[in-house]
């Protein structure tokens, strides 16, 4: 991972904010061997306060996962990063792997999509939960074992789970164990990448509830990336919608999902089947833009029913607590 | 297509009319023998059996879309595969257009495949990356010997592409899978099935791998096929919201059994079986009129360990004594006679606390 220029955002320079995650002007390019590159994240600003539950919503390829991988310093070597990420006041991108190591586990941890592949099949669950605490020098083996039992209880698993192997657990139990592992070193920020997608509906609900509950009781900032609108509605207080590598809407979940301001969010909601509402589904015409070609203006303009001349210029996020990046919104406002 | 006249498929044309279902599954069972464990051998027992599907009966009519819903491991895919005879059923019969296909000799299975097609979940894995769209679609025609000439093949491929909305046909026909988006790939897969003119389509989670913005398009395509072409569609899904939107009827499976079967809107709005209630209640949503109560405890069951009585009883909040011993049959619900439900309480009107969430 190469870092292309990072300047600290003013908020950090000014010190004492309650935000635990500050992403400013984040850009990520994936460089292909043939010299081309895909611009996956194209300038994202995101500030998350301690204890805040944020859901990042978007379809595949919108850059939502890339953004959180960048925040954890987990991008592959062929990625270039611009902008800055501050986690708990620490500049993650400043000194490459060294600074990323300083924040991982202890300041921020991540729950991945496939609980099956997130655990090592040949080690007992307890060892895998205890390892990060020992590796990061937080606890001795014995203390870590003690803490493992507490963590398992916290995520609703019997303490005997520590002696089991991952294959002996069901999908839901495994995802709980992975969450326990992520909490091992008491991070301030918990990133969750599609934490429920691989699970059954009933288990999805259990895991969603657990994550929201943990964020509240532990004062964790939860950043959950998902394409599941319902999941965001049930677990997050704030919803951020991404499209083609940019944030197009950001606001209180209820407002975003019931009174969306960006045309993309509105169409996405209309395209989503809802179990207790009977209405025709719409599909959004066209496909998202290619990220390996330059995008000028609003990335959604080509698929947007409301597009007009102004859309040739990239729109900025406007609004107070519920912001959206759309020129049509600026037009609506009384002059 | 008279070239394909085969004694084994002949009855289709004769008995196609009146009163007969397109697909009728009766008491279908699929059991898988598990490897004999060491303790089984010590005790000189036979190996255990996973009863993936255990006595499922359902029907599907022409032009109907039936959604088979359930959690993973409930036996929905196994049911569908056995109904296509892609798996050998352990017991029960499957009638396709009045013909019992469970008794067909293997040599007669190929004509059957023409009438009943499967659409897979993953359009990324279902298409050969080295074939162009036109060859992917024509392949089925060639296998079934339905290509009298190059022109006829080209016309059939164009027709199929047009039906699935991949226009301009000339452009899409020349593309390789990697040049197509997920939704377009799924359309190619559907075109590959349609080109054979099947009367039954089994769609196994046809949209779960796709992005939300293109899902609606695929669902509308399937909906159009059954309306315009009269194709009967058995759609397997774990997503109740999708089922509610596109299907006529919903069949809910749990642990190898059907637990509820009825008109989609009725089942979703007024679920009768406690499992269906829990399942619908667990679906995350934006508008919820009351706080979500604690969802269903426990995990989906193990097909090799079947509980006595009602299979859902270990997880059921309404469980009574007889639920542990007596197996409930699928009977009309007291609350809604149009719905069949396998629950002692729901069929006797004793289940009063139906959760409501309009």
**pLDDT of A299-316, one tens digit each?**
999 999 999 999 999 999
Here the ipTM equals 0.75
The per-residue pLDDT for B335 is: 78
Residue of chain B minimizing CA distance to A198? B72
Token digits of residue B278: 């829990």
Instruction: Please check whether residues A199 and A231 belong to one and the same domain.
Output: yes
What's the pLDDT score for residue A244? 94
Question: Are A265 and A221 members of one domain?
Answer: no
CB pairs under 8 A between A and B: 116
Contact call for residues B282 and B296 (beta carbons, < 8 A): yes
Residue of A208, A209, A268 lying closest to B213 (CB–CB): A268
Closest CA to A229 of A278, A277, A261, A274: A274
What pLDDT is stored for residue B14 in this prediction?
A: 39
d(CA B29, nearest CA chain A) in Å: 24
- A48 and A138 in a common domain: yes
What DSSP character marks residue A259?
S
pLDDT at res. A158: 93
Residue A260's domain comprises: 249-332
Compare CB distances from B245 to A60, A201, A281 and report the shortest one's residue: A281
Q: Which of A228, A244, A260 is the last residue of a domain?
A: A244
Residue of B205, B5, B8, B247 whose CA lies nearest to B118: B205
Q: Which two tokens stand for residue B343?
A: 């629950």
Mean pLDDT rounded to a whole number for chain A? 88
Chain B CA closest to residue A59: B211
Whether residues A171 and A266 fall in one domain: no
Q: What is the pLDDT of residue B184?
A: 92
Please give the Cα distance from B145 to B357 (Å, whole number). 53
Please check whether residue A64 lies inside any domain of the structure: no
Is residue B219 in a domain?
no
Q: How far is CA A312 from CA A249, A329, B210, in A?
A: 19, 15, 29
In this prediction, residue A115 has a pLDDT band, given cuts at 50, 70 and 90, of: low
How many other C-beta atoms lie within 10 A of the C-beta of residue B149? Answer: 8
Distance in Å from the first CA to the final CA of chain A: 46
CA dist list (Å): A7 to A24, A25, A43, A82, B173: 9, 9, 14, 9, 50
d(C-alpha B178, C-alpha B129), whole Å: 7
Residue entry with tokens 């339905």: B146
Q: Does B21 reach chain A within 8 Å, measured CB to CB?
A: no
B348 is in which domain, residue-wise? 272-358
pTM of the entire predicted model = 0.83
Question: Which residue matches tokens 């897969």?
Answer: B189
* DSSP SS3 for B146: coil
What is the C-alpha to C-alpha distance for residues A105 and B76, in angstroms, rounded to an integer? 40
Q: What is the pLDDT of residue A10?
A: 45
Strand partners, A192: A111, A224
With beta carbons less than 8 A apart as the criterion, state whether A260 and A269 touch: yes
- Of B212, B279, B357, which has the smallest distance from its Cβ to A201's Cβ? B279
Instruction: Give the whole-angstrom CA distance, residue B53 versus residue B57.
Output: 11
- Which residue numbers of A have CB closer than 8 Å to B's CBs? 59-60, 170, 172-173, 200-206, 208-209, 227-231, 233-235, 254, 257-258, 267-268, 271-278, 281-284, 287
Our count of domains for chain A comes to 2
User: What region does B138 belong to: left with phi over 0, alpha with psi -120 to 50, or beta?
Assistant: alpha
pLDDT at B7: 39
Residue B245 CA: distances (Å) to CA of A51, A264, A272, A281: 37, 21, 10, 8
CB contact under 8 A, A274 and B286: yes
Contact A271 B215 (CB under 8 A): yes
Q: Which residues of A are less than 8 Å from B215 in CB distance?
A: 271, 273, 281, 283
- The residue in chain B having the minimum alpha-carbon distance to the alpha carbon of residue A282 is B216
How far is B211 from A257, CA to CA, in rounded Å? 18
Query: Please, is A332 exposed, middle or buried when counting C-beta atoms within 10 Å of its C-beta (0-12, 13-18, 19+)?
Result: exposed
Interface contact B214-A283, CB threshold 8 A: yes
Instruction: Sort residue A265 into left (φ over 0), alpha (ψ -120 to 50) or beta.
Output: alpha
> To probe the interface with A, which of B69, B254, B264, B285 has the most A CB atoms within 10 Å?
B285
* CA B131 vs CA A174, B65, B134, B276: distances in Å: 39, 31, 8, 43
Residues A321, A275 share a domain: yes
Which residue's structure tokens are 């992917």?
B136
On whether both A128 and A265 belong to a single domain, the answer is: no
Residue A79 sits in a domain whose CATH number is 3.40.50.300
Strand-pair category, B116-119 with B249-254: unpaired
Residue A41 forms beta bridges with which residues?
Answer: A28
Residue A213 lies in a domain: yes
Backbone angles phi, psi at A210, to 5 degrees: -60, -45
Walk along chain B (358 residues) and give the pLDDT tens digit of each residue: 334 334 343 344 334 444 689 999 999 999 998 888 788 888 887 778 889 999 999 999 999 999 999 888 889 999 999 999 999 999 999 999 999 999 899 888 988 999 999 999 888 888 999 999 999 999 999 999 888 899 999 999 999 999 999 989 999 999 999 999 888 999 999 999 999 999 999 999 999 888 888 888 899 999 999 999 999 999 999 888 889 889 999 999 999 999 999 999 999 989 999 999 988 888 877 776 655 555 677 766 777 888 899 999 998 888 899 999 999 999 999 878 889 999 999 888 777 554 443 3
pLDDT (0 to 100) of residue A65: 92
Residue A166 and residue A292 in one domain: no
> What is the average per-residue pLDDT within A68-95?
91
A66: distance to nearest CA of chain B, Å? 17
Inter-chain contact A281–B240, Cβ cutoff 8 Å? no
Alpha helices by DSSP H, listed for chain B, are 11-14, 38-42, 76-83, 109-115, 123-126, 133-143, 150-163, 169-173, 182-194, 212-228, 240-246, 264-269, 274-282, 321-325
Local structure of A82: helix, strand or coil: strand
CA distance B261 to B267: 8
Q: Which of B242, B278, B299 sits opposite A172 (nearest CB)?
A: B299
Q: Are A100 and A108 a contacting pair, CB within 8 Å? A: no
Confidence of residue A18 (pLDDT cuts 50, 70, 90): confident
Domain assignment present for residue A211? The answer is yes
- Of B289, B293, B295, B321, which is closest to residue B308 (Cα–Cα)? B321
**Total tally of structural domains belonging to chain B:** 1
Q: Taking a C-beta distance cutoff of 8 angstroms, is the pair A282, A270 a contact?
A: yes
Residue-level pLDDT at B293: 58
Tell me what pLDDT residue B9 has. 39
Is the same domain home to A286 and A262? Answer: yes
- Provide the pLDDT for residue B68: 96
Last residue of a domain, one of A215, A244, A273: A244
User: How close does chain B come to A272, measured CA to CA in Å?
Assistant: 6
Instruction: Point out the residue among B217, B238, B280 whose CB comes nearest to the CB of A200.
Output: B238
- Position B355 in a domain: yes
- Residue A184: the pLDDT is 93
CB atoms within 10 A of CB B339: 24
Do A107 and A179 share a structural domain? yes
Q: Which of B208, B211, B236, B243 to mutate to test the interface with A (most CBs of A within 10 A)?
A: B211
Is A62 part of any domain?
no
Residues of B in contact with A167 (CB under 8 A): none
Q: Region of A153 please: left (phi>0), alpha (psi -120 to 50) or beta.
A: alpha
pLDDT recorded at residue B11: 40
Q: Which of B71, B181, B358 is facing A200, going by the closest CB pair?
A: B71
Chain A contact for B215 (CB, 8 A cutoff): yes
Mean pLDDT throughout A108-134? 89
In the prediction, which pLDDT does B21 show? 94
Together in a domain, A240 and A264: no
Query: How far away is chain B from the Cα of A282, in angstroms, using its nearest Cα?
Result: 6
CB contact under 8 A, B286 and A258: yes
Indicate if A31 and A178 belong to the same structural domain. Answer: yes
> B283-328 pLDDT, tens per residue?
877 776 655 555 677 766 777 888 899 999 998 888 899 999 999 9
Enumerate the H helices of chain A as residue ranges.
10-13, 64-71, 97-103, 125-135, 141-154, 171-182, 201-218, 229-235, 253-258, 263-271, 327-332
């Amino acid at each position: 991972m190469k870092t292309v220029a990072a300047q600290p955002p003013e908020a950090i320079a000014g010190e004492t904010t309650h935000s635990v995650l500050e992403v400013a002007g984040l850009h990520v390019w994936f460089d292909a061997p043939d010299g081309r590159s895909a611009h996956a994240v194209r300038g994202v600003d995101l500030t998350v306060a301690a204890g805040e539950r944020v859901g990042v919503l978007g379809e595949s390829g919108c850059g939502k996962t890339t953004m959180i991988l960048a925040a954890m310093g987990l991008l592959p070597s062929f990625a270039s990063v611009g902008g800055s990420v501050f986690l708990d006041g620490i500049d993650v991108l400043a000194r490459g792997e060294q600074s990323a190591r300083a924040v991982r586990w202890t300041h921020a941890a991540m729950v991945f999509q496939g609980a099956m592949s997130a655990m090592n099949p040949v080690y007992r669950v307890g060892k895998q939960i205890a390892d990060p605490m020992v590796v990061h020098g937080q606890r001795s083996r014995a203390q870590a074992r003690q803490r493992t039992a507490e963590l398992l209880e916290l995520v609703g698993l019997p303490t005997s789970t520590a002696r089991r192997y991952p294959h002996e657990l069901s999908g839901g139990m495994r995802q709980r164990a992975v969450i326990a592992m992520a909490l091992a070193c008491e991070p301030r920020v918990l990133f969750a990448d599609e934490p429920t997608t691989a699970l059954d509906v009933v288990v999805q609900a259990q895991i969603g509830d657990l994550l929201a509950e943990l964020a509240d009781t532990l004062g964790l900032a939860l950043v959950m990336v998902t394409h599941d609108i319902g999941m965001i509605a049930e677990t997050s207080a704030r919803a951020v919608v991404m499209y083609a590598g940019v944030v197009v809407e950001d606001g209180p979940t209820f407002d975003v999902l019931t009174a969306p301001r960006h045309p993309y969010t509105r169409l996405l909601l209309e395209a989503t089947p809802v179990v207790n509402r009977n209405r025709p589904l719409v599909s959004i015409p066209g496909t998202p833009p290619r990220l390996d070609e330059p995008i000028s203006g609003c990335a959604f303009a080509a698929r947007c029913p409301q597009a007009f001349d102004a859309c040739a210029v990239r729109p900025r996020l406007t609004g107070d607590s519920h912001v959206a990046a759309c020129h049509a919104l600026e037009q609506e406002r009384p002059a | 297509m008279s070239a394909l006249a085969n004694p084994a498929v002949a009855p289709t044309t004769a008995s196609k009319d009146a009163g007969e279902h397109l697909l009728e599954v009766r008491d279908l069972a699929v059991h898988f023998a598990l490897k004999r464990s060491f303790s089984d051998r010590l005790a000189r027992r036979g190996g255990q059996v996973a009863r993936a599907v255990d006595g499922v009966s359902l029907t599907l009519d022409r032009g109907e879309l039936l959604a088979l819903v359930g959690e993973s491991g409930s036996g929905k895919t196994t049911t569908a595969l056995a109904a296509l005879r892609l798996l050998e059923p352990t017991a029960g019969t499957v009638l396709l257009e009045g013909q019992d296909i469970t008794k067909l000799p293997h040599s007669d299975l190929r004509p059957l495949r023409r009438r009943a097609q499967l659409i897979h979940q993953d359009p990324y894995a279902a298409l050969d990356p080295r074939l162009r769209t036109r060859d992917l679609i024509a392949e089925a025609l060639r296998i079934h010997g339905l290509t009298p000439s190059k022109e006829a093949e080209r016309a059939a491929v164009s027709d199929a592409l047009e039906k699935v909305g991949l226009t301009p046909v000339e452009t899409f026909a020349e593309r390789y899978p990697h040049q197509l988006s997920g939704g377009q790939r799924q359309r190619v897969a559907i075109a590959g099935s349609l080109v054979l003119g099947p009367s039954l389509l089994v769609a196994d989670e046809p949209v779960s791998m796709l992005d939300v913005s293109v899902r609606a398009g695929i669902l509308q395509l399937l909906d159009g096929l059954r309306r315009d072409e009269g194709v009967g569609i058995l759609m397997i899904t774990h997503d109740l919201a999708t089922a509610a939107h596109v299907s006529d009827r919903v069949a809910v499976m749990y642990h190898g059994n059907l637990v509820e079967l009825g008109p989609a809107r009725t089942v979703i709005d007024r679920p009768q079986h406690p499992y269906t209630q829990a399942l619908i209640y667990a679906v995350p949503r934006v508008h919820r009129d009351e706080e979500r109560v604690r969802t269903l405890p426990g995990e989906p069951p193990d097909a090799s360990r079947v509980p006595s009585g009602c299979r859902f009883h270990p997880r059921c909040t309404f469980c009574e004594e007889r639920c542990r011993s007596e197996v409930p049959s699928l009977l009309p619900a007291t609350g809604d006679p149009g719905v069949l439900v396998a629950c002692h309480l729901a069929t006797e009107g004793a289940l009063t606390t139906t959760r409501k969430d309009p």
